[in-house]
Amino acid sequence: MYELKVEGAFEAAHQIPNYPGKCARLHGHNWVVEATVKGTELDELGMLIDFKKVKKALADVLDGFDHRFLNEIAPFADGVNPTAENISRIIFERLTANGIFPEGEGRAFLASVTVWESPKSSITYSAS
Q: Give the chain's domains with CATH numbers.
A: 2-126 (3.30.479.10)
Predicted local distance difference test score (pLDDT) of residue 100: 93
Predicted local distance difference test score (pLDDT) of residue 105: 75
Predicted local distance difference test score (pLDDT) of residue 82: 98
Cβ contacts of residue 78 below 8 Å, gap of 6+? none
Beta-strand ranges (E) seen in the chain are 2-14, 27-39, 68-69, 109-118, 121-126
Nearest to 10 by CA among 72, 96, 71, 91: 91
Side-chain-side CA neighbours of residue 59 (13 Å): 6
- Residue ranges in the chain modelled with pLDDT below 50: none
